[in-house]
Amino acid sequence: ETGVTQTPRHLVMGMTNKKSLKCEQHLGHNAMYWYKQSAKKPLELMFVYSLEERVENNSVPSRFSPECPNSSHLFLHLHTLQPEDSALYLCASSQEVGQHGYTFGSGTRLTVV
């Protein structure tokens, strides 16, 4: 384990469902991130949180809604997704935002049917 835990590991959902992805870290990091990883594409930054405050929303559709209740937990709420949203969703944390190595979780493999 890296210290960043993501649940669930796998998720299959219909286009009308509502689900949530959870990320938890107890590394004492102040920054947390959501990334989308699709086949043969670079990692796509979705959201950045610093000390529970969102500092970046990288033009992500509103069907993805992040929540950071405290510096150890990060959620990604999903609703009315499209099949093209199927991907590996990775959570990461770092000491501060940006110029420090990231610790990634193992990801949630999402399939939208």
**Interacting residues with another protein (CB under 8 A):** 2, 4, 6, 40-43, 45, 48, 50, 55-56, 90, 92, 96-99, 101-107
Question: Minimum CB separation from another protein for residue 21, in Å?
Answer: 13
How far separated are the first and last CA of the chain, in Å rounded?
30
Question: Minimum CB separation from another protein for residue 43, in Å?
Answer: 4
What secondary structure letter does DSSP report for 27?
S
Question: Minimum CB separation from another protein for residue 39, in Å?
Answer: 10
Q: Is the dihedral of CA 65, 69, 71, 72 positive or negative?
A: negative
Residue 13 CA to residue 64 CA, distance in Å, equals 14
Residue 85 CA to residue 74 CA, distance in Å, equals 19
Place of tokens 């299959």: 12
Question: Minimum CB separation from another protein for residue 42, in Å?
Answer: 5
Residue whose CB is less far from another protein, 14 or 96: 96
Residue from 21, 29, 23, 18 nearest 5 by CA = 23
Residue whose CB is less far from another protein, 37 or 80: 37
Residue whose CB is less far from another protein, 33 or 64: 33
Residue whose CB is less far from another protein, 7 or 14: 7
